[in-house]
A and B are shown apart, each in its own frame.
Chain A
Amino acid sequence: MATPMLRARQNSSVERQNGDSDLARHRRRAALRLLGAERAEEIFPVLLEEILALGFSRALVAEVDFESATVRPVASLNCPRPLQDYFRVSLWSDAPVLSALHEFTPATIAYNRNRKLYVHPLIYNNRRPCWEAERDHRSADCLAVLNQNHTRRLSLNEQVCQVCDMRSYAALVAVEVPARGMEREMMELRAVAELANRYLARLFKVEHYFNRMRDMETTIAQLNTVMQSMPDPVILTDAQHRVLLQNRAAARFFKLPEEVTEGLAHAVELNNLLFSAALSSMAVSDAESSRDLTLVDAIEGDEVLFEAVCAPTLTRDGVRVGMVTVMRDVTDLRRADEELRSNYDRLRTAEEVVRQDRDRLNLIVENVGDPIAVCDSNAKFVLLDPLARELFGAEEEDAVRTPEQMKNLARFEAYVTTFTYAFSHKESAPLRLFNPTLQTEVDYDARSGKIYDERGQVSYTVTVLRDFTALRKLEQLKMERRILEIEKFAATGRLAGTIAHEINNPMEAIKNSIYLMGSMVEPHGQPIYDILKKETERVARITRQMLGLYRHSEQVTNVDINSLVEDTLALFARQLERAGVRVENSLKPMPPILGSADQFRQILSNLIVNARDSMPDGGRLRIRTRHVSRPDSVHGTIRITIADTGTGIPPSSIATIFEPFYTTKGERGTGLGLWIVKGILENHSGKIRVRSKVGRGTVFRIELPIVR
């Protein structure tokens, strides 16, 4: 501070000599010097020098340090320590020096008896608002304007611009002034202080901007680091989609590397093209948008699927100046997603199949009409159909059960437990349970199967309970009837046999006697003898026929049905011809059949004789033989059809024609023909069926299984 003091002394002598013109010159010089200051800190020394040049002896500048809330001298000329310390005060104290600051108006305070201090506040102000306030049309809020116009008094603490967030500086220029006189110098002092404040305000603002710029640069650098270190490509483009900035991850796809191959260049070119196209489509919307983009990794050569998220970059005024695109590599994600989706689809399909199966199964279970119970490996119910629920009660262990259901359950559990631990996969056993519908115990046929888990352990058992009561009754009834039929037949047969036996011996004697008598008969006795012989023969015929069924004298051999038919027809040819019956036969080749030729011959002759007798006025007899292969038998069957155009059988008689002693032929017939036919066929496991229409004719159809 030595030099300024020296210069002040020199200046003060000049002023005193030159009066007003000196003041004017001084002001011009001061203005120029202040204007020459390029940094805010240069202002205060220049100001102090110019004050001293005005003729004042001591001056200092004290600045408010808002952080410590103190005022302290920052520059002084010719000020002794006590004077400087006078300005070292807390902002909260009621030191007289602070009044000028608080009031924002210059003040003169008494320092001691001889001296006064002129204190001039220096605070950021300006006639015009700053650029930001102007741009934002908030001039009224600009701190500079507020401080200039004093439209609103702001305390020191409020000295922060609401527009640009800049804190004002606050300082005091203190000048020792004489108690009287120097009015012109005082005015000049005031003007210089104001001038200095104006320059200070400008420089301060510039420095504020500079600081701001530096902060921004730091921020930009930080952001750039962030961007570069991002693994995802980030690209900043201008309004024409030209790349302004891209990080390293993006460069991999969009920037030609130093060593370039043709394929690589092509890949990069293609990538840029694709990216531009994607940008164009996304730029349509103002908001953030995204789309998928497949690019080629210029280095690895792989195709990479990206999800590009694109956001427009806007100015403060909302003008779009470009776009920021961040691309996320979703190749793996998509692959995983696709896999997940396909797995999900598969699962859904499987689930659907399972559901359908279950529905189908449920439908089956509900419609089986038999009780069904599914049990777990502990023989506890898992699933019951409604019928099973009637037997056992509900599935739940604590379900309410009737005593009968409890009993059923105990029996069933015992059965299922045994089955579960048995080695067999299936079981069928009778199980006696109380049937609630019949209100009695019934033998059910329990059929069970096992369901195994992956380890081959029984996880479930399924049991179907079949109530055979009804079926059994029916079967029994049928059986009884059948047995009755057989019994009847057998009884009839036995009867016939006994009769035949008892008759045949006397008949033998009679017949032999008649034969022996033949030569002894007188001519007039001959007719009687003939009657005797004929009728005896008839009785013999009947008994022989009756016995035919029970006479299995012949060997069972392979019989050719076709030649049997031909033989039998040949035997009856004359008779048939006489009766005017035309014979048509259609005999197809067929395998031989095991049986008694004589008996088959008897069947054929009985049926042929019947046919002949049914056509007293002639007609047509058709005999057909066919070999029918049947899927349910090994060799099939032989079918013989014998059809006549005779009188037919009335429907009322159809049922009785196969019974013994039924005849339409009066004395000529024995009534045993068809009965014998049926008997022989039954002995050979064959069947006979008849269709007849009165006046049209009768058809007998015989089926014989081929047995070898």
Chain B
Amino acid sequence: MGKSHILVVDDEPSVLLTYRLLLEQQGYDVTAVLSAREAMRILETSTFDLLLCDLSLEEQYSGFDVVDFGRQRDPGLLAALLTGYATMDAAEKAGTRNIPLLFKPIDIEQFFTTISALLGDGNGQAKASGE
């Protein structure tokens, strides 16, 4: 019951799969989707403790759109962006919105610490247990 629910968004199926496996291995409850559109649809109906989203997604959407969408529904939604390549603008944008930006290839230890740090600040855990 103490499992945190994480939504992972990445347009590369293999990457998405490894994320899901890694997170499940760590004991999180994971929902993995391949597109921003799909992510938004799920965010409309469900709530998550943490949103992990690739920055550069397919079509016209970016990771920011997904986070913004999620936060419209749930302003307290915790999120981290993952990217293989970030422009300076994007990095600055993430900085100002207080969204951690993780650069691929992400050191796995760092990946885990960032996630547990985000969720472990109490707020996420409380929320998770509240679900």
Contact = CB atoms under 8 A, between A and B. Distances in A.
Contacts of B22: 512, 515-516
Contacts of A512: 15, 18-19, 21-22, 108
B45 interface: no
Contact of A508 (B18, B21, B86, B101): B18
A551 B21 CA distance: 28
B interface, size bucket: 20 to 34
A516 B84 CA distance: 20
Interface string A295-312: 000000000000000000
Contacts of A503: 84
Contacts of A500: 84-85
Nearest to A552: B88
Nearest to A541: B105
A501 B84 contact: yes
Interface in A503-539: 503-509, 511-513, 515-516
A511 B106 CA distance: 9
Given A511-B105, A516-B25, A555-B95, A550 B85 contact: yes
Interface in A461-518: 497-498, 500-509, 511-513, 515-516
A160 interface: no
Contacts of A507: 104-105
B65 interface: no
Interface in B84-106: 84-88, 91-92, 94-95, 101, 103-106
Contacts of B86: 550-551, 553
A497 B12 CA distance: 18
A582 interface: no
A501 B25 contact: no
A29 interface: no
A503 to B, nearest CB: 8
B14 interface: yes
Nearest to B10: A505
B18 A509 contact: yes
B104 A508 contact: yes
The binding surface of chain B is classed by DSSP as: helix
A292 B99 CA distance: 107
A102 B12 CA distance: 172
Interface string A527-571: 000000000000010011001001111110000000000000000
A517 to B, nearest CB: 10
Given A500-B84, A508-B105, A553 B14 contact: no
Given A501-B84, A504-B85, A516 B95 contact: no
Contacts of A552: 88, 91-92
A505 B108 contact: no
Contact of B88 (A506, A543, A550): A550
A493 to B, nearest CB: 11
Given A516-B18, A516-B22, A504 B92 contact: no
Contact of A547 (B12, B95, B103): B103
Contacts of A515: 22, 108
B21 A553 contact: no
A550 B22 CA distance: 28
Nearest to A500: B85
Contacts of B108: 511-512, 515
A501 B22 CA distance: 22
Interface residues of A, number: 27
B84 A508 contact: yes
A497 B88 CA distance: 12
A249 to B, nearest CB: 106
Contact of B91 (A498, A502, A505, A553): A553
Interface centre among A500, A512, A516, A543 (most CB of B within 10 A): A512
Contacts of B101: 553
Given A509-B12, A550-B87, A516 B21 contact: yes
Contacts of B84: 500-505, 508
A506 B106 CA distance: 12
B18 to A, nearest CB: 3
B103 A509 contact: no
B21 A505 contact: no
Interface string B59-96: 00000000000000000000000001111100110110
A28 B18 CA distance: 192
A497 B105 contact: no
Given A501-B84, A508-B15, A553-B91, A540 B25 contact: no
Interface centre among A540, A550, A551, A554 (most CB of B within 10 A): A551
Contact of B105 (A543, A553, A554): A543
Interface centre among A497, A507, A509, A550 (most CB of B within 10 A): A509
A556 B87 CA distance: 16
Contacts of A506: 12, 14-15
A640 B36 CA distance: 47
B103 A551 contact: yes
Nearest to A546: B85
Contacts of A509: 12, 14-15, 17-18
B105 A540 contact: yes
Contacts of B104: 504-505, 507-508
Contacts of B17: 509
B102 to A, nearest CB: 10
B79 to A, nearest CB: 16
Nearest to B109: A515
Given A509-B18, A512-B18, A552-B91, A501 B105 contact: no
Contacts of A502: 84
17 contacts: A498-B85, A500-B84, A502-B84, A504-B84, A504-B85, A505-B104, A506-B12, A507-B104, A512-B15, A513-B14, A540-B105, A550-B87, A550-B88, A551-B86, A551-B91, A553-B86, A553-B103
- Give me the 5 closest cross-chain CB pairs, A-B, nearest first: A504-B84, A512-B18, A501-B85, A540-B105, A509-B14
Given A500-B84, A550-B88, 9 more contacts: A497-B85, A501-B56, A501-B84, A505-B12, A547-B85, A551-B91, A553-B91, A553-B101, A554-B95
